[in-house]
Every structure is written in structure tokens, then in C-alpha cells.
Structure 1
């Protein structure tokens, strides 16, 4: 199980590093900025979770794989964009936008489920804590990313994002508390990705009060 969780974490790390690097490039950051934002996006949610659970030192500093993988992913994304001079600029922007949505959804789903699994190992019957840790692990990286690039965080406006994480976190937490850990991970992860994907496709938004 631990190896499976680590494999999922690596997939989520790559996915969130891609989304962070793409947002950084969209904000016209240089090479260093792209790498930093990629690493922050991929690791910050887990750091928040570890602080909440009192796990010190933080996992990202204990196992360098998270930082190394996210940094390398960011370098690759930057290199592809930097040396891609033949693709039409409009087509490139469309491709990057689609990649950002896909990577963000995958990272959100994986880290929501993994965050709950980590919390479950310490507090298996505290549903509220499990759900909260899952959501914060899922959205924490994107929240930090948007703040670093001086944007209104995505979770507070436009489309369904944090809500997708919450919708998947609830069944995930209940299944794990009932002893179905593997089922909880997969159900939670897939529900988050599905809700996020449908919300983007159908252009679902939460209501906004008129100013």
C-alpha cells in the first residue's frame, strides 16, 4: 500500500508541477520563477497537511523526491515552451490551457485522496479531520501558486474547484473509516476528477452576489 501511495503521490506531483509551471509562464516569469512555482504548487498542499497533523519535519523536506520530481518537471515544461518556436501562438495557448486543466484535475484528485490517507493513518475515525486534510492537501498547492503569481486564488472564484475536492473527499473519508482504504482512495480520486472535469465542460460556477 505504501508503494502504491508513493506512486500516486509522484503522479500528482508531476501533474501539479505542470500546472504550476504553466501558470508561471502565463504570468511571464523567468526560468527560476517557473521552477519555484512548479515546486510550490506540487508540495505546498502536503506541507499544510503535515503542519495540521503535527508531522515534523515536513514530508517534502524528509524525502527530496517530491522537490526533485517537481523541479525536473518544471524544467521540462519550460524547455518545451522555450524551444517551441514553430507552433502557432494561438494553437500553443489552446494546448497549454487544455494541459493545465487536465493536469490540475489529476493533481487535485490524487492529492485529495492521498491527503485523507495520510490523515487516516493517524486519526482513522475523525471524519471531519480526514475531509479537511484531504481538501487542504488538494487545493493548498494551487492556492499558494495563485498567490505567488498575484492572482485571485482559483478556489474563490469562477469554476468548481475546491467544491470538487470536497465532494470527493466525503465518500473517500467514510469508506476509509469503514475499513475500505483502497476503495476510498480510488473512489475519492475519481469523483474529484470527474466532478472537476464535468464542471469545466459544462461551465458550472457557484453563484456570485451582485456588487
Structure 2
């Protein structure tokens, strides 16, 4: 069964790494960090979720220390984001700030959807198939890097304040588990990806939020 989704897993891992590195780097630029700070935020966003996942699954050392490919990809895209905004003379203009916010949400959502998948498939590749564990690992892989990013940047993590965030991971994980036995791993991975992506973007557009204490 591993062969059924291994190639797709690598694809989503790379896409998620790039997307999360971009979202972390954009936040670093918004916070006016230097290039090192931008790279660090890009790295922790792209690698943090997988690191937490590996700790939960008992993978030692974590994959980020066994294979440097994702770290290199994260660094390259973080530098590219920094250079893009560094050479823009109208960096503080309203149009650029709107672009940064919108592109950060989009890239963060793509990373969220991709890593929800890789979290579950990593557990499955280890022979772990308990549904609660798969949902938990998929969700923590999706949100983990963003949580670390936001804490380092001095902001409240998306998961605690933004439109439905972790809920999108949970929904996507459940959809994957419900469909994989009927449609196969590859199709279910694609369905999971678009479930998380669409649900999260709709939550942003429609401003769907969990109940919270109001003033």
C-alpha cells in the first residue's frame, strides 16, 4: 500500500514545504525582520509541523535531521521572498500590505492542506492505522509549524484567533479516512487536499469563526 501513495506523498511534502516557507518568510518581512529572521521563520514554519509529528510518532532522529532537502528548499524560498520585498520601494504601501496578507493566507492554506496529508501518510507508512491517531497527527502536522512561527513572531497563533483553522485539518483528515477504502489512497489524498483548501478559504472569505468571548 505504501507504493500507492509514496509519490503523491513526496509531491505534497514539497508543495507544503514551499508554501509554508513562503508564509513564514512573508510574516518575517511584515515584522521588518532582517534576512536571518526571515529565513528562521520560513524554516520553522516549513519544518516545525513535521518535527512535532515525528516526536509524536517516535521517529528519532526526526526526518528534518535525516534529510536536508526540505531545509534547503525552505531557505531558498525564504531568501527569494525577502529579496522580492527588499527591492520594492513601495514596501509600506497599502497595496503591497494587502498583497502580503492575501498571499500569506493562500500559501499558509496550501501548506495546511499538504501537511495534513503527509502527517497521516507518515503514520500509515509506519503501520499505524488508529483513526484518532491519524486525525491528530494530520492536524498537528498541518498547524504545528504555523504555531511556532507565530509565537516566534510575537503574534497570537492562527489556530487561536483566525477563521476556522485546525477544523479544516480535522475535516480533511476525516474525509481522507472515509474515502480511502473506496477510492484508493491517491484519490483520497487529492480529495483531502481540496477539502482543507476550500473549507479554509471559505472560512476566511465568509469570516467563519468559532465562538469567542466578546467585549
Smaller-chain TM-score range? Answer: over 0.9
TM-score calculated relative to the size of structure 2: 0.93
What does residue 210 of structure 2 align with?
A: 206
> How far 1:87 moved relative to its partner?
6.6
Moved over 4 A (4+): none
Which sections of structure 2, spanning at least 5 residues, go unmatched? Answer: none
Aligned equivalent of 2:19, options 15, 22, 31:
15
**Alignment partner of 1:56 is 2:60:** yes
Please show how residues 61-210 of structure 1 align to structure 2 within 5 Å: 61-85=65-89, 89-176=93-180, 180-210=184-214
TM-score calculated relative to the size of structure 1: 0.94
Q: Number of residue pairs matched? A: 211
> How far 1:88 moved relative to its partner?
7.1
In the superposition, relative to structure 1, how do residues 33 and 3 fare at CA in structure 2: closer, same or farther (>3 Å)?
same
> How far 1:124 moved relative to its partner?
4.4
Quote the Cα distance in structure 2 between the aligned partners of 1:175 and 1:123.
Answer: 19
Task: After superposition, give the CA deviation of every residue in 1:148-201 in whole Å (9 maximum; x if it has no partner).
Answer: 111111101131111111111111133346682112211111100010010011
Task: After superposition, give the CA deviation of every residue in 1:4-39 in whole Å (9 maximum; x if it has no partner).
Answer: 311221111010001001111112211100000000
RMSD: 1.6
In the superposition, relative to structure 1, how do residues 88 and 179 fare at CA in structure 2: closer, same or farther (>3 Å)?
closer
**Alignment partner of 1:39 is 2:39:** no
Which sections of structure 1, spanning at least 5 residues, go unmatched? Answer: none
> How far 1:116 moved relative to its partner?
0.7
Task: After superposition, give the CA deviation of every residue in 1:29-82 in whole Å (9 maximum; x if it has no partner).
Answer: 111000000000000000111111111111111111110000100000000000
